Amino acid sequence: MATAALIAAAAPSAHADLKVGIDLSSTGPAAAIGITSKNAMLMWPATIAGQKTDYVVLDDGSDPGVAVRNIRKLIDENHVDVIVGPNITPAALAALDPVSEGKTPMITLVGSGSVVEPQEGARVWAFKMAQTDAAMADVMTRYMAAHNVKTVGFIGFADSYGDSWLKEFTKAAGARHIEIVATERYNRTDASVTGQVLKLIAAKPDAVLIAGAGTPSVLPQRTLAGYGYKGAIYQTHGIATPEFIKLGGKDVEGTLFPTQPVVVARTLPADQPAQKAALAFVDAYEAKYGAGTVTQFAGDAAGVYARLQDAVAHALKTAQPGTEAFRIALRGELEHAHELVVPNGVVNTSATDHVGLDQRASVMGTIRGGKFVYLAQ
């Protein structure tokens, strides 16, 4: 894959240039996610904590194997100080070994907590911007319980994203006495899920949860609508892209989903802790890319810059970029964010928590009039 320098040279610095390697799915099934993340990164300043910064971006084509090759190239040939990405769970899991071997911290943009939990082995080099599936399943099942949902049919990706959601949703649903009455899986590239949907409908659930991300999440919902399913349809935080609404049209109106502040920034209550940061980012992003273009994934990418700004400033007191000592120091500082407000929440990391988001980063949303809007509990 070809590399591209994202940011031009900045003012001279007393230290070596900081190098940030970025791996995203800018093409392939996850492109709707990767492109908006890249767009947000194109807005990053040319310096981080006063350091001239070289950004190198690679496209993994939504292929975990390519992602691993990209990350090895960034570490072994470009000698980056930190990896940002990947933005799909299978690729992020596959990247754990190369970043650990290269002693290079990685800030991923995926939803699944499996990339950073438990904090042992190669995972100690991985951090994550998006809220965990467990936290999202919690806010979702609280909403379900409050609205008398007793039974749920599940259909999710047949990969690590679907695995994580089935695990976390099963746990959260059980705690609230919600029964999963049918479980089906499908592939991101499938052209039909008719068989799976007919089995879900036959189970007569009060609601269906579709555990997918990006535009491939439209297919089960459209099929459910086509076969006349009238119950509530829930999706995960992975749907929050304009492409999902554009492709889904009337079939996705009324979708219920957990999300983070950026997605529903314009309808958040003023006392939501991340509201100001979320709205400021949305205003800047949409001024550049157009109304209605912002996504959770863009918000996560914006948060990476704030995380690096905070951690790099402290790591520079220990070592200079381009050295193993700096990468080790940077990993350590990424563990010590304290009440750091980013567009999608408030971050407090530790040696055992490489996400650092609490329920201030989780809200419920719905699709109304072709827009993502905040939904009060």
Q: Where in the chain are the domains? A: 4-131+280-361, 134-259
Give the confidence band of 15 by pLDDT, cuts at 50, 70, 90. Answer: low
Q: What is the mean pLDDT of residues 8-15?
A: 41
Q: What is the reported pLDDT for 241?
A: 86
Q: What is the reported pLDDT for 11?
A: 37
How buried is 11 (Cβ within 10 angstroms: 0-12 exposed, 13-18 middle, 19+ buried)? exposed
Nearest CA to 212 out of 253, 135, 154 is that of 154
Q: Which fold has domain 134-259?
A: Rossmann fold (3.40.50)
Indicate if the pLDDT at residue 170 is higher than 50.
yes
Looking at the DSSP bridge assignments, the partners of residue 375 are 364
Give the confidence band of 113 by pLDDT, cuts at 50, 70, 90. Answer: confident
Look at the alpha carbons of 301, 303, 307, 308 in this order and tell me if their dihedral is positive or negative: positive
Q: What is the reported pLDDT for 316?
A: 97
d(CA 104, CA 106): 6
Give the confidence band of 13 by pLDDT, cuts at 50, 70, 90. Answer: very low
d(CA 65, CA 231): 39
Please check whether residue 88 is in contact with residue 161, taking contact to mean a CB–CB distance below 8 angstroms.
Answer: yes
Note whether 4-131+280-361 and 134-259 share their fold: yes
The two tokens of residue 36 are: 């908006």
Q: What is the mean pLDDT of residues 73-97?
A: 97
Q: What is the mean pLDDT of residues 181-204?
A: 97
Nearest CA to 22 out of 43, 37, 9 is that of 37
Q: Which fold has domain 4-131+280-361?
A: Rossmann fold (3.40.50)
Q: What value does the mean pLDDT of the chain take?
A: 94
Q: Which residues contact 238 (CB under 8 A, 6 or more apart)?
A: 33, 111, 161, 212, 213, 214, 217
Give the confidence band of 21 by pLDDT, cuts at 50, 70, 90. Answer: very high
Whole-prediction pTM = 0.83
- Residue 355's identity, in one-letter code, is V
Q: What is the reported pLDDT for 8?
A: 37
Q: Which residues contact 7 (CB under 8 A, 6 or more apart)?
A: 44, 45, 46, 53, 54, 55
Q: What is the 3-state secondary structure (H, E, C) of the chain?
A: CCCEECCCCCCCCCCCCEEEEEEECCCCCCHHHHHHHHHHHCCCCCEECCEEEEEEEEECCCCHHHHHHHHHHHHHCCCCCEEECCCCHHHHHHCHHHHHHCCCCEEECCCCHHHCCCCCHHHHHEEECCCCHHHHHHHHHHHHHHCCCCEEEEEEECCHHHHHHHHHHHHHHHHCCCEEEEEEEECCCCCCCHHHHHHHHHCCCCEEEEECCCHHHHHHHHHHHHCCCCCEEEECHHHCCHHHHHHHHHHHCCCEEEECHHHHHHHCCCCCCCHHHHHHHHHHHHHHHCCCCCCHHHHHHHHHHHHHHHHHHHHCCCCCCCCHHHHHHHHHHHCCCCCEEECCEEECCCCCCCCCECHHHCEEEEEECCEEEEECC
Q: What is the pLDDT of residues 35-57, one digit of tens each?
A: 999 999 999 999 999 999 999 99
Strand 82-84 and strand 47-48: the pairing is unpaired
Helix axes 31-41, 296-315, angle to 10 degrees: 50
Count of residues making up the chain: 377
